[in-house]
Amino acid sequence: MDIDLGNNSMETLCKTCSIQLDKIKNGGRFIDKKEILKTPRKTFTANIPLKMDDGSVEIFPAFRIQYNDARGPTKGGIRFHQNVSQEEVKKLAFLMTIKSAVVDIPFGGGKGGVKVNPSKISESEKERLSREYIRHFHRFIGPEQDIPAPDVNTNEKIMGWMTDEYEKIKGRKLPGILTGKPLSLGGSKGRSYATSLGGAIILEEYLKEESIDRVEVAIQGFGNVGSNLAKILHDKGHKIVAVSDAEGGIIDNEGIDIMDLYGKYDGDGDLSKMKDVEEISNKELLELDVDVLIPAAIENQIHEENVDKIKANIILEMANSPVTTEADKVLENSNTVVIPDILANAGGVTVSYFEWLQNISHEYWTEEQVNNKLKAYMVRAFKQVRETSENDECGLREAAYILGIRRVLEAEKSRGNL
């Protein structure tokens, strides 16, 4: 969903989020609520000078935004990307605020980023940049203040470097400073596939409530989220008929052998290595007549130009903002069920919360314990969003935003800020 936070108008923000203002009004002090939500609580910027391998020095703009901490320490990933900007980080920090509230974990929302093309720097330059990011922002983050995590083009290795640098600066072990770390540094079991498992749990709950057993599924995006989700849904008995990556995809109406594909793709990243399947473009995949379409790649994949060709009955948003605002209105009018990203892909932040809990308590859980706790949180969140949808007579996306914003405002009211 394309949220423009550059316009400091709560009415505009709510409209973009498809939220009716009267559904979060309580009394005559709504102007205070606009002020609370329209801008980030804290914004930090830096221009990081980095010595490159050839001895030259380059400057990399970097950001950390803590949007709202009414419900707890801010939480959100750090991304390395050539298109990172302060406005993008602000938008994502807002979404993290709402996502944490929807699954009802005691976190606010934050986000960070560095404007860098990671494919253009060496591994050693990447490590130095990661450590420099912590050196520039260490005063503003901490286990009880702001907890970063991996995001686009960052991973557990980078989180390990950042954790090490933070602990060196502070002079003591503080594993709760970051989540998504390697297991050897306090990472949580189950974290690597938590986003996928969370999405599968949400889909299963929806299908159960609708008395639907087995479905045909197409998945756009075969990275960590898409590939793990394909494996999980396949194991649950659903038929995966098409998958794709950035280069294109494959289709088999009888069902793709996901376990075979998973091993081959993991080896060389080439979907075309599969036998007895047809190739398909990403555009064609989105327009397949399947029960469930799962955009798990990048944003804005379903838009005004292709929305009329979407035939799936259910769209499970595993990518962030894969459906534009304009397309979302068309889908709603066509009775297509859209399970929104701030609910569907919240398994990652939920298990990040579990990792943080384990770090600060120094008590670590088994993989089964993590997955059982994740299921409990995701099922509860789905039922609450569904109940809000029924009570407020709106779609699941609108219901998720209403639920999340209400919870943030309730926390602000309890603090005496409203």
Tokens representing 34? 């606009």
- Asked if residues 108 and 97 have their Cβ atoms less than 8 Å apart, the reply is yes
Q: Look at the block and give the residue holding tokens 């286990």.
A: 143
Strand, coil or helix: 216:
strand
Helix boundaries (H) for 49-155: 86-102, 123-137
pLDDT, residue 2, reads 34
214 half-sphere exposure, CB direction, 13 A CA radius: 9
239-245, strands of its sheet edge to edge: 278-280, 248-251, 239-245, 216-220, 292-295, 314-316, 337-339
In this predicted model, what pLDDT tens digit does every residue of 302-336 receive, in sequence order?
A: 999 999 999 999 999 999 889 998 999 999 889 89
pLDDT, residue 9, reads 39
pLDDT, residue 266, reads 58
**Strand (E) or helix (H) holding 196:** helix 194-209
Smallest CA-to-CA distance from 312 within 329, 287, 340, 345 is with 287
- Asked if residues 63 and 113 have their Cβ atoms less than 8 Å apart, the reply is yes
All structural domains of the chain, each given as residue ranges with its CATH number in brackets, are 41-189 (3.40.50.10860), 193-339 (3.40.50.720)
The whole-number average pLDDT for the span 150-166 is 95
Q: How far apart are CA 147 and CA 385, in angstroms?
A: 26
Which residues are known to be catalytic? Answer: 111
> What is the end-to-end Cα distance of the chain in Å, rounded?
28
Beta bridge partners of 248: 245
- What angle, 0 to 180 degrees and rounded to 10, lies between the N-to-C axes of helices 194-209 and 367-391? 50
Tokens representing 116? 């860098």
Q: How far apart are CA 278 and CA 76, in angstroms?
A: 39
The identity of residue 209, as a single letter, is E
Q: How far apart are CA 64 and CA 85, in angstroms?
A: 11
Give 3-state DSSP helix, strand, coil % of the chain, rounded to 5: 50, 20, 35
pLDDT, residue 32, reads 52
In this predicted model, what pLDDT tens digit does every residue of 399-418 receive, in sequence order?
A: 999 999 999 999 999 998 87
Higher pLDDT, 179 or 417: 179
